[in-house]
Structure 1
Amino acid sequence: MSRMITAGIAAMLGLLATMPSAAAPATATDGDIETFRSDLQAMKAAQRGPFRRIRWFCKDGSVLPPEPYACKEHGGGTQHGEWSVETLALRDAGYAIATFYTDLDIDGFVPARVASAEFAQMLIEQYLIRADDGWILRRAQFYRGAYQEEGERAGSRKLLLRMVADDELLSRRYLQLRIAASLLRHGKETNLVSRIRQEASSLAVADSAFTPLRNRIHARLSPKDAAAVRDYAAGRSDESDRAALEALAAMIDQAFGAESARTLASLLRVLEPYPQVTEEVGRLQPLLAEDSTASQRFTATASLLQIIREQIGNLRRASERLAMLDAANEVLSEHFIAGAALRTAPEPLSRHQQIARLLESAGALYGSGLLSKRQLGELEKNLGALPAQPVVLADYLEKLQVAGLAESWAAQTLQFFFKTGIDKLAEIEPLALLFVQDQMRGSPLVFFDYLSQRLLQDARALAGTPNLWFGEEIGSGIRPLNAGYAVAPLRIGMPEEDAGTLARQGIFVLPETVADLPPVAGIITAGAGNPLSHVQLLARNLGIPNVAVPEDLLAQLENYAGQRVELAVTRRGAVRIRLAGAEQLEQEVTAQPAATTLLRPDLDKLNLGQLDFVRLSELRARDSGSTVGPKAANLGELKFHYPAAVADGLVIPFGVFRQLLEQPFEDSGMTVFEWMVQSYAALARMEAGSPAHDRATETFRQRLENWLLEADPGDAFWARLDEALTAVFGPDGSFGVFVRSDTNVEDLPNFTGAGLNLTVANVVGFDAIKDAVVRVWASPFTRRAFAWRQSSMESPQHVYPAVLLMLSVDSDKSGVLVTRDLEADADGYFSIAVNEGIGGVVDGQAAESLRVNRDDFDVHVLAQASAPLRRQLDPEGGIARLPASGADSVLSDDEIRILMQFVRELPDRYPYITDADGNQRTMDIEFGFLDGKLVLFQIRPLVENEALASNEVLSGIDAAAADIRTIIVPMTEPLDEN
């Protein structure tokens, strides 16, 4: 049994533990969570672990002392440990620990709770028990009677049988069920590779000198490792140590032995009633003979994994399905071992042959459940298009870059099934954060990543655009999200709310690009989220470099925390991350384009005398910056051209807010506006960026925000608003509205402001609407919005929010469309990000990301939606969070065609899509679908950073690149093994 994770993994654990959880807010307080963490650690050292004592639990509800046949007169029952007071408190707070499978109500659990955070935690607990020397059972595993092994195995088997019997669960949640079969003891021991890795961890904890061997086994398991373990054992004096090491060596020998034939024979017996499947599987037997090569076993096991996944649903009996799932876990181990052998002794294959092998590996990833059929199809469409004949480097690189997405796809699939459980359990046990990485490290992804790295390094070397990670060439895994340049200290985790200048001068390492990110110099994330979220579009506008990297690189970043780092992301997609030398420090002042952005709203256009409410249908784009902001003005224009697609709305103009500022400010003897002007002037006289300036700015901002949150425009105003809402939407309480900020300092020529100010979703009832309106007025002066905008603004006192109240319209799915290809910048394509429910994309949920040709149905999948929860309107007000379906596709083919037609028609139907010179502008459009009908929520120009084009560092990196359209790649030549 394995013990605690060590060395490099522990370093990454420390990094992840500093980052904010994306889980729903815990019901426990921070104080409770600290107590829970302490209680959990105490369980690991306690003789009875999470239990108080042993008891009989009878079927009639009686709990009796551990005497023979105690439940005989009570309908029978089971004997096991009784949860301690601390365990009960943890379980009541939602932490699913110390689960007894023998007592599980299977009928109540399946299918209702399979998608819950509870089940995810139950499986993660099994991982922790194996990986952390028993975890909370570290000593309790020797507490006689605490667990009845036979009953636990029987309960686990019943649960697995019920789940695999459900066709929907087996199809939609194949990966989760396969992992459950590998973790839950149910009479079948599977996944030898996982046991090897966990036993190596256990030995390294007991003997730190074994750590280098443990790291080698985890990183690149090979047949030679058995001899290395035996050599190490020979130098140990303790007999029990030698025995444990010999057991590990024997497992490695077993792993690299000819086990495939036995697994296949066992599988064929299960499949006897299904001759077609038997014939398909039987054709692989010659490739799995005792004398077969690693290459043959790799090919055969990859095919076998696909067959199992494709055919398991056709088996009639649950016991047959479970046996097939167990076989899949055994085949996975054998496939992993075959891949390890191929890595140890690579064959001299040509580029084309390597790509063929990469496709086999992709098939294994699909067979394991880590990729969907749709994702496998995307890989086959791109990699399969590379012929044996010479190809243009541009095509070679483009197709291979799709392979580079597979690692993030696999991670997102695991996150879909386990994120809610990981986030919850990690509140009290940070080791839970390692679950996804553990699953990936023991999967076909290890070989796929190895081979795709080599191929992408080859392509980038030919192109002259290598991705450099602290001096090392990285082929795949690093994905550029936004171009930009920064030289700044590397900082781990989210900036503090009051970080001020410190945050703006930091490159931050985050688990994902979170929605409430304050202004920063650069971003390195472990998850891409989606490229069209509000914060991504804001970073794109300000030239803030952003890259997504695999989690296994995060541990390395902790070594550079606090040091000045250069982060360069070019428009052609080259990434360079390195320690900053003297040359880069000189660039720091001049090269960061975000610092050059100066916001100049058109003050001459302002009409602050307009105090009457305006219906959305009466507004046009020309009203932007005059009486209302661009959100309401552009939506009014859009409603004129697409009346059925845009909901009704009512707008409170700028003038009402300006009138509010004429009220007295505290006891200053000045109006609020006069006090603002005086305060801004005082701040302008101070040294920008100094600690004193930061403190004074924050004091001013906080006083203004607090005043606005208590502001009252008067009873007459509220009566007029109530009357207007009834006229537009109906009686109070019969409708909901989205209350949205709409300022004069967003969607400017050089500043988008996307997502900075407040939207209060689905507000029901007039009292709640009043509160939301006041909060929206105050929202431009929250710490985050103020920080992004105010340091770059000319005449900062002239920030005016209008308030758009828009009828709540639910959506089956919603997202963002950009009328240009942001991924490859290919002519004729546009970009889409979409999720189930409403509002997930703009807030940064992991979304379905597509490139679509506007003229023909050519759809490229960049990512599948993997957010585990979807948001829907709650009839009582606000948003309900419900489980997402997990479907391979969010948009249907018909809906994609509707969007294609919309993009084609937009320039003719919406006149403001061109700029003053008549050039077509790139537009950013928020949309939804309800019952297959298009709904439009917002339209704005996509604002990008023009200063990037003149950045000498980025231009120099791209200038060194070759013309990839003219270089020919010989596909029959072998890759350079060096």
Structure 2
Amino acid sequence: MTSRWRRGLLAVVLGAALGGGAVAGAFQPPALSAAQQTKLKTNFALCLNKLKGPYTENFCLCRDGQKLGVLAPNGAVRVPCKDPFFCSAYRAPWAEALANERMYIANIFSRDGHLWSTFPNHHDLVRGYILEKYFVDTHPNHKLAQMKQYRGLSSAEDETGAGVAFFEKYLGSGEFDPNRNFLLAYELQRRYFVRDDIGQVQKVRNLAVRIEASRADFKPLKDAVHNQVSASLIPGLEAYRGKLPAGGLRDQVDELIREIHKLTGLDESALAPQVGIITDKDLRDQLTALVPTATTPPVEAVLALGKLMATARGTIVAGRISTPDARRLVDLDVTAAQVLQQRGSALLADSGVTAKQHLQMLSALTDAAYGTGLLNAREHAAASAAIRDLLAKDAPDRAAFASRLREAERVVEWAQGNAELAFAEVAAPWQFLLPDTAGIRDDILRGSPLILYAEVARRVDDFVAGGNRPKHRFFGATVEGDVRALNPGLAYGRLRVGPKDHGYSRDEIVALPETPADLDPAAGILTQGEGNVLSHVQLLARALGIPNIVLGPKVFDRLRMHDGKVVLLIATPGGRVIIEEAGSMTAEDREAYDEFTRNQTRTSAGELGAATRKLHIDRTKIDLGPKLPIDLTAIRRKDSGVFCGPKAAYLGELKHTFPDHVARGIVVPFGAYYDHYSHAAVVIPDALRAQSLATPGEPLPAFVERTYKTFFDELVPAKKSERELSAWIEPRLEVIRHSIRLSPLNPALRQAIRDGLAKNGLLTSGNDTVGCFVRSDTNVEDLDNFNGAGLNLTVFNRRSLDDIYAGLAEVWASPFQFRSFSWRQTLIDDPVWVLSSVVILESVPSEKSGVLVTADVNGGAPG
């Protein structure tokens, strides 16, 4: 094995251990408490089941400030006052309850613009507008989407003008930071883009009324048009039109679609008028010079559009323009991004594009990514500098060129992280009730200039590879072409070639003859086709940290004779791919696999029945005597595994060494958890009462021991399937978690936590505290060959004693989460002795946080 190949394997292992390449996908929403979950489920059910869903009856805001209902006492609909500011539905109490949990639905611009000063967090409100729009557009048959079409929720005329005012309120608010929040403003205006032309809006409304007069079944679409004009109306209208015979009515629907296109379309003809209405003359002149014409050479046009987008955002960041002009610049960015996509795609269709021109396109698309908010200023500067260096070299060294290109291409992972971060604060409630809203990140990326960037980057990579393409190893044979590693990683499992209807399990390597729109998780992915770093499959692979390889037809055919065999799949960051049957693995292959499994980060559930090695907990080392919190300053490294986990032990050591540079905190030891667990009684969640899983009130330890004995001594040896094992254990784990959460805390422990926080100056007044993290720290974090990475719960930013107490119980319950159990308890020889200490640590304001890596994750070199 060459030293270069060893470095490649090390890079794979390090990348997996450190989450390399999975920046965005590693995000997990903060855990919701049981009370929060109940509140969210209860109120969302009312939003779906009430007659008007999340909306109230309609009210008009009158010029004298009165809010009057549109329903007269006799039930007739009327406008209750002359020339009202607007008439619309409001949020029903159950929708307001969701808003209190940072989940805004039933959004209407005119109403929320009027109520602007009442919202505690305008970023959350904007996130709600974006997430609701994304969800209803992608789930048109969901009840939430159907209720958006209810007649009279608002008027399109009001919403068009109110939308403009809403955008400007956000951009002009003291909260809005264009360095941090620009992506939210961009996505808000992109998704609700409508030209401010009330006459055109009225024409659209009239056309919809005329069609409904001829066909009553058009009413839902007419109501949707009247509520808000949006490009998302067009697919529904086109589907309706497709069912009509040729003739007058079909022609009217065609006209309606054309008129909506005029209001919402993004094309090159819109650029000059958008620049022309900017009031700042110097800025207007600067941008006018960047608008390409029909005769502008293609590469120059793409470069100009990228610069236009970066200039627009940079101007907003500088803060030297009016709020209306800031709103116009965001609209300009939205249009320019679409034009850039059109111009760039046409350019790529020309087979004569040179390597240098591809690099120039990367430069323009990097500017465009900044212009959409997907890159911050530092990321934009770093990537742009790398591309400038590449363009400046006439005869570059191929290896140095490839290294610098990798730096430039980090744009993709930076953008993934930034798109995730923009919605991270509200991800928990949204994804709890509407899990598919987790797709907002991918939707943003694939609707951005980065989808073109990915294709250009692929071509540049091919230019760089040239005659020095990696030599791959496929079942003992050398392959030089038709193999492309989109995501590095290592996988070991059974190969499934062309399985039908998701006929594979999460621990298997799946080979597909064509790239699907989506894919269930797998240990590794091989697909036939060209591939793209922003495909749904690649985004999944990056999120899960699994290898994703694209193959040409001939190479793909080599897989078929190995269907059903256990194989090792390795893809290095340098692009080399190895796939071998388990029986043909070399000693180096096995060494790489063993190193990988020792350092793997656990981002999904493990295999319940597959564990063969059992890791040992040294019970003689554990001291359960201390049951009350210990100040962090009194903890040392030697205490790890004795009465606290390694996180507390090493933080205590650091606090001792650098007392002014480590946050204040206290440690709740193993003994406190064990005392709580030992005195807990079984409490059955309402949803599981009918299953007769346990006897309510019986000692929890007895139930846990009985559950483990049945699972490990009977079901696993009986070779039950993963599905059978998970179906049996998951509800019982929920009983354990529920019981731990609901068991009352020892009063002495509560008082000691209060006293410990007060001693550290973390108690502000009454029951209020400074923001504190409640962090899990078990005795099985750093066992030999198992690090527990990715399994621990941290409850963020608790600001009262009651919240900290609830967070403590939540963290204590977290080792019984299915994902944690499937990775950890199944590998422990005595899983009852998985113990949890907890670090209650002062929250420190920070722009970003992360992990310090002391090795080159691409090459493995130290430093």
State whether TM-score is above 0.5.
yes
2:275–2:288 CA contact under 8 A, matched in 1: no
Alignment of 1:606 onto 2:621: yes
Taking the aligned partners of 1:128 and 1:602, their CA distance within structure 2 comes to 46
**Alpha-carbon spacing, 1:143–1:648, altered in 2? closer, same or farther (3 Å):** closer
Specify the alignment match of 1:299 in structure 2: 303
Alpha-carbon distance in structure 2 between the residues aligned to 1:392 and 1:343: 26
| Structure 1 residues 686 and 627: alpha-carbon distance in aligned structure 2, compared to 1, 3 A threshold | same
Partner letter of residue 720 of structure 2?
P
The answer for the alignment partner of 1:71 in structure 2 is: 81
- For 1:714 and 1:113, locate their aligned partners in 2 and report how far apart those are by CA, in whole Å: 33
Aligned-partner Cα distance in 1 for 2:29–2:640: 38
Instruction: Tell me what 2:358 maps to.
Output: 354
Contact 1:188 1:326 in 2 (8 A): no
- Tell whether the 8 Å contact from 1:308 to 1:367 is kept in structure 2 after alignment: yes
Q: Deviations over 1:880-916 (max 9, x none)?
A: xxxxxxxxxxxxxxxxxxxxxxxxxxxxxxxxxxxxx
Q: For residue 451 of structure 1, report the CA deviation from its aligned partner.
A: 0.6
Q: Which residue of 1 aligns with 2:182?
A: 174
Output the amino acid matched with 1:108: W
Distance change (3 Å), C-alpha of 1:39 and 1:399: farther
Q: 2:396 aligns with which of 386, 391, 399?
A: 391
Quick one: structure 1 residues 27 and 678, their matched pair in 2 at CA, closer, same or farther if it must change by over 3 Å? closer
Query: CA offset at residue 398 of structure 1?
Result: 2.9
**Matched residue type, 1:688:** P
Q: AA paired with 2:378?
A: R
Q: Is this contact kept in 2: 1:454–1:475, CA < 8 A?
A: no
Residue number in structure 2 paired with 1:62: 68
Q: Distance in 2 between matches of 1:122 and 1:441?
A: 19
8 Å Cα contact 2:734/2:817 also seen in 1: no
Q: 2:196 aligns with which of 181, 187, 195?
A: 187
Q: Residue 826 of structure 2 is aligned with which of 776, 787, 791?
A: 791
Deviation at 1:378, TM superposition (A): 2.1
| Match in the other structure for 1:119 | 126
Structure 2 residue 474 is matched with structure 1 residue 464: no
Structure 1 residue matching 2:169: 3-state secondary structure:
helix
For residues 424 and 355 of structure 1, what CA distance do their matches in structure 2 show?
Answer: 42
Alignment of 1:690 onto 2:701: no
Task: Report the Cα distance in structure 2 between the residues aligned to 1:671 and 1:121, rounded to whole angstroms.
Answer: 41
Please give the alpha-carbon distance, in whole angstroms, between the structure 2 residues aligned to 1:591 and 1:484: 11
Q: Deviations over 1:395-419 (max 9, x none)?
A: 3333333444434444444444456
Instruction: Name the SS of the counterpart of 1:487 in structure 2.
Output: strand
1:568 match: 569
Separation in 2 of the partners of 1:770 and 1:265? 58
Q: What is the rounded CA distance, in whole Å, between the counterparts of 1:453 and 1:355 in structure 2?
A: 11
Q: Tell me which amino acid in the other structure corresponds to 1:790.
A: Q
**In structure 2, what is the equivalent of residue 374 of structure 1?**
378
Residue deviations 1:500-559 (CA, integer Å, cap 9, x gap): x98777999xxxxxxxxxx9967999898999xxxx9xxxxxxx9635999xxxxxxxxx
Where in structure 1 are there 5+ consecutive unaligned residues?
1-18, 44-48, 210-232, 496-500, 509-518, 537-543, 551-561, 830-978
Residue of structure 1 in register with 2:546 after alignment: 546
Report how far residue 653 of structure 1 moved: 6.6
Q: Percent identity?
A: 18
In 2, Cα distance between the equivalents of 1:140 and 1:697? Answer: 38
Pairing 1:819-838 to 2, within 5 Å after superposition: 819-821=853-855, 823-825=857-859, 827-829=861-863
Counterpart position of 1:641: 657
Q: Deviations over 1:550-581 (max 9, x none)?
A: 9xxxxxxxxxxx99997834454658799x99
Equivalent pairs, count: 719
Q: Are the counterparts in 2 of residues 268 and 281 from structure 1 also a CA contact under 8 Å?
A: no
Q: Which moved more, 1:586-595 or 1:645-654?
A: 586-595
Structure 2: which amino acid aligns with 1:367?
G
User: Matched residue of 1:391: which SS?
Assistant: coil
CA distance in 1, matches of 2:149, 2:747: 74
Q: Which structure's residues are more often helix, by fraction?
A: 2
Q: Deviations over 1:832-869 (max 9, x none)?
A: xxxxxxxxxxxxxxxxxxxxxxxxxxxxxxxxxxxxxx
CA distance in 1, matches of 2:28, 2:776: 27
- Report the Cα offset of residue 437 of structure 1: 5.1
Give, in angstroms, the shift of residue 382 of structure 1.
Answer: 2.2
- Does the Cα contact within 8 Å between 1:255 and 1:337 map onto a contact in 2? no
Distance (Å, rounded) in 2 between the aligned partners of 1:800 and 1:93: 36
CA shift at 1:154, angstroms? 2.8
**C-alpha offsets along residues 226-278 of structure 1, whole Å, 9 cap, x if unaligned?**
xxxxxxx9xx9556657877998999999999955x7437625635x533x35
Shift of 1:374: 2.0
- Contact 1:616/1:635, CA 8 A, preserved across alignment: yes
Q: In 2, Cα distance between the equivalents of 1:433 and 1:36?
A: 21
1:115 alignment partner, SS class = helix
Aligned residue in 1 for 2:272: 264
1:753 matches 2:788: yes
Aligned residue identity for 1:375: E
Q: Structure 1 residues 120 and 186, CA, compared in 2 at 3 Å: closer, same or farther? A: farther
Quote the offset at 1:363 in angstroms: 1.4
Contact 1:599 / 1:751 at 8 angstroms: preserved in 2?
A: no
Give the Å deviation of 1:366: 1.9
Partner of 2:162: 155
CA drift of 1:475 comes to 6.2
Hey, what does 1:331 align to over in structure 2? 336
Does 1:450 pair with 2:460? Answer: no
Q: Are residues 1:341 and 2:356 paired?
A: no
Pairwise mapping of residues 852-867 of structure 1 onto structure 2 (< 5 A)? Answer: none
How big is the shift at 1:92? 5.3
Q: Is the 2:168–2:323 Cα contact (8 Å) retained in structure 1? A: yes
Q: For the residues of structure 2 that align with 1:723 and 1:77, how far apart are their CA atoms?
A: 54
CA displacement at 1:146 relative to structure 2:
6.2
SS of corresponding position for 2:493: strand
User: Is residue 281 from structure 1 mapped to residue 287 from structure 2 by the alignment?
Assistant: yes
Q: Within 2, Cα distance between the matches of 1:176 and 1:723?
A: 39
- How far 1:63 moved relative to its partner? 2.7
Output the amino acid matched with 2:621: L
SS in 1 for 2:196: coil
CA contact (8 A) 1:523 1:545 kept: no
- C-alpha distance in 2 between matches for 1:610 and 1:378: 53
Secondary structure (helix, strand or coil) at the match of 2:365 reads helix
SS in structure 2 of the partner of residue 155 of structure 1: helix
Give the deviation of 1:359 after TM superposition. 0.6
Matches within 5 A, 1:681-830: 683=712, 688=717, 690-691=719-720, 694=725, 698=729, 709=740, 743-754=778-789, 756=791, 783-793=818-828, 795-796=829-830, 799=833, 801=835, 803=837, 808=842, 810-812=844-846, 815-821=849-855, 823-825=857-859, 827-829=861-863
Distance 2:193 2:672 in 1: 64
Contact 1:140 / 1:146 at 8 angstroms: preserved in 2?
Answer: no
Amino acid of the residue matched to residue 286 of structure 2?
Answer: E
Contact 2:523 2:546 in 1 (8 A): no
**C-alpha separation between the residues in 2 aligned to 1:143 and 1:664?**
49
When the two structures are superposed, what TM-score results if normalisation uses the length of structure 2? 0.62
Matched residues in 2 for 1:98 and 1:651: separation? 43
Distance 2:440 2:831 in 1: 50
Contact 1:522 1:546 in 2 (8 A): yes
Give deviations 1:698-725, integer Å, cap 9, x for gaps: 5999699689959999999979979996
Please state how far the C-alpha of 1:71 moved relative to its aligned partner.
1.7
Any gaps of 5 or more consecutive residues in structure 2?
A: 1-26, 201-228, 475-479, 512-520, 527-535, 551-562, 598-609, 683-693
